[in-house]
Structure 1
Amino acid sequence: MLHSMTGFARETVETTLGTLTWEIRAVNHRYLDVQFKIPEDLRPKEQVFRQQASAILGRGKIECGLYFRRATDQQSEMQIDTELVKLLSSRISEVSAILPSPAGINPIEILRWPGVLQQREVDAEPLFEEASALLDTTLEALDDMRMSEGRRIVEMLESRCVDIESIAALVRLRMPEVLAASRAKQRERIEKLDVEADPARLEVELALLAQKIDVDEELDRLESHLVEIRDALKDAKPVGRRLDFLMQELNREANTLGSKSADAETTKAAVDLKVLIEQMREQIQNVE
């Protein structure tokens, strides 16, 4: 099933250690680029998180943020190192005795001194296990969103393929008429010159002209590319680059059709094809 490269997922879990929240944002990119913003306690586990993401995501720029809010324990949280506070107070008194008119010390400034407030260390292993399980859940939610968006892209591409087929069929249906009109126009021009033309040479020239404006080969290739596109849409593997290449091929055939055009209707058909192909290309830029 086709996957979009854009998506967002956010999952939260309450643990005995605190609240964990994963936020993942995904946008289109040429390859897989996964970036992590995680607490320092879990920084050594970043490579494991990266492997989890790579196992599910194939392409895109992925921004993963892990946010941790510690559970508060009034008995053990924010303990004050009283010995350090006493030492700081003693040193402040010594400095105050030297200065002529020292300002008062704000207790908050003392609390900000490194080491005055002490927090218990978090056990990283249980925290990692919870974060890893939550990451899997968040990645699944992101993948579901990308798959849902992919289904809408498939519907759009299928619709444009049908429109392209209709235009190609109309051009093919009109080709005998276009060739006949071109042949008649060339004969009329020769007659206006009032010269006697070699009938055999004239037929050869008219045949060469018909060959130059005949677009059967281009229409055949166009229809062949549409078959390839539909096959790609059913593929379970990432097909974004393959579809992008097919858009280039479709655009090439539309350009050739326009350059070979011998009447206004065929020119209009070539322009309509290019508009449809561009609409498809814009959507395919977002396909994994």
Structure 2
Amino acid sequence: MVTLADWMRGCGLARLDAQVLVESVQSWSRATQAAHPERELDARALERLDTLASRLRSGEPMAYVLGQREFYGLALEVTPDVLIPRPDTELLVELALRHLDALPEAHVPTVLDMGTGSGAVAIAIAHARPKARIWALDASGPALAVARRNAQRLLDPHREGGALRFQQTDWWDGLRLPSAFAGFDCIISNPPYIAANDPHLPALRHEPPLALTGRHPNADGLSDLRRIVAQADCHLSDEGCLLLEHGYDQAAAVRNLLTAHGFREVFSARDLGGIERVSGGLCPRRQIDQSPPKIG
């Protein structure tokens, strides 16, 4: 029989990665593994561990190998159809919750998550604020299937705001809302923002290109951000907020874009690494038609 210590020595992985795989397959904590390296692995466990280790050695991300990733304290299913949720994106959730908490207590908040992917942001907000009514959009049908499964598993089916409303759209095109809808209190998005020639793209080869560079990759990576900002004011309430995640070097460009479209109190917020990761602003002031009424 092969012991745990034998497998760890021969698996070709960093120790922590190997421990994570063993914990996933055998449910042995890292403390247990350290205390009992003599434990034996049966043939079935060895086959499973060798398969997972081979995938890791080929460069596949751990999240895809295990089929899940933690985000905002929630264990999300992830597949190669969705972008792997990053800790940096939790800033988007924090800013959205802060804005919703400033609304009148009796108000039922409304939120739109554009490009929801695994559903990470929408589900985190829904979990933290059960009263909120939330719409989640994505252009990818397979991604929406993952998001729906995550919502069904992680959210109370009887939450006050009801089930998340998933829709397959090309950004604003195809969005369906109730006829008397008054606008969203918060629109959030972690859209594709990686430039077509970005040197980091080869390292992200296992993740869906649609979520990284979008349908139409371009030189500055801002194509989808421009589409979102261009029509966001039409879908926001008067004091609604637009929040956008972007690349480490795109904050100034996104602030300029928001300002050019009339957004108020435009800002950028830094993630835990000190990088300006999210920019946003309040809905532009509505234009009031002051032309004199027609007579006759």
Give the TM-score category using the shorter length.
Answer: under 0.3
Structure with the bigger percentage of strand: 2
TM-score of the pair, normalised by structure 2? 0.19
Structure with the bigger percentage of helix: 1
